[in-house]
Amino acid sequence: MAKRAVPGRVKTRLIGALTPKQTAFAHAAMRDCVMDRLVQILAADGEEKKPAFRLALDGAEVHDVQDVGPIGEGDRPSWRLIDQGEGDLGERIARVWEAVGGGSAAFFGVDSPDVPAESLRRLASVLDDADAAVGPTDDGGYWCLAGREPLPALLRGIDWGTSRVYDQTRSAARRAGLRLAELPAWHDVDDGADLDALLARLTDIQTDHEPHLRRLRDRLTAICKDST
């Protein structure tokens, strides 16, 4: 689930530290990293059932997308592009879930591009013993929501974009009698301090086995240098 990388429409809390255009490029860099890592980690050789990948963009006709970076085609042939449609985030997730045929699905945003690979790999088994799973972020949201089947109860009555999203999702699961597994917590990128923290993490870790994180570090470093 992602916004189109249009200057002035994405990552607006980064504007000031970066220009609107640089902010859009940073958004596109994180989106590309998330997409590439999901394919690398979740569609690893040897898995019997390969996942299907969809990039759901907001407010864009599938056949007429204008963006600052490549999306869902060309060097990412395993991704199909679909439209999120209208409504709040919960309504859009529900619509996309039904559009891809229901059943088991995991939803990601672009704000947590460096979630540890081990956390992503847990998705292969976490739903064996739960109806749904959620991976919290340190700002009160979540980096992933997964479920065995469409679960509208988890998507209604949520104050999207606030620090209450994760807690409200847990409460909604309890009310609906759903078994909710908790994935490891991680960080997301909202403002300049978060971006600095991401770059620090990408500098500190070994990226030899994670070429997409290395590429993200290099792209974000170049974008930030251009802003000085």
CA nearest neighbour of 92 among 32, 20, 152, 182? 152
Supply the Cα-derived Rg of the chain in whole angstroms. Answer: 17
**Number of Cα atoms under 13 Å in the Cβ half of residue 165:** 20
Q: Which two tokens stand for residue 39?
A: 């394919």
Measured between alpha carbons, how far is residue 5 from residues 48, 60, 129, 184 in Å? 34, 11, 37, 28
The pLDDT-based confidence of 227 (bands split at 50, 70, 90) is low
pLDDT in tens, 162-206: 999 999 999 999 999 999 999 999 999 999 999 999 999 998 776
Q: What is the pLDDT of residue 205?
A: 72
User: E strands, 23-137, where?
Assistant: 53-57, 79-83, 105-108, 132-136
Residue 79 confidence (pLDDT): 87
pTM of the model: 0.90
pLDDT tens for each residue of 77-99: 688 888 998 999 999 999 999 99
Which domains can be identified in the chain, with CATH numbers? Answer: 12-226 (3.90.550.10)
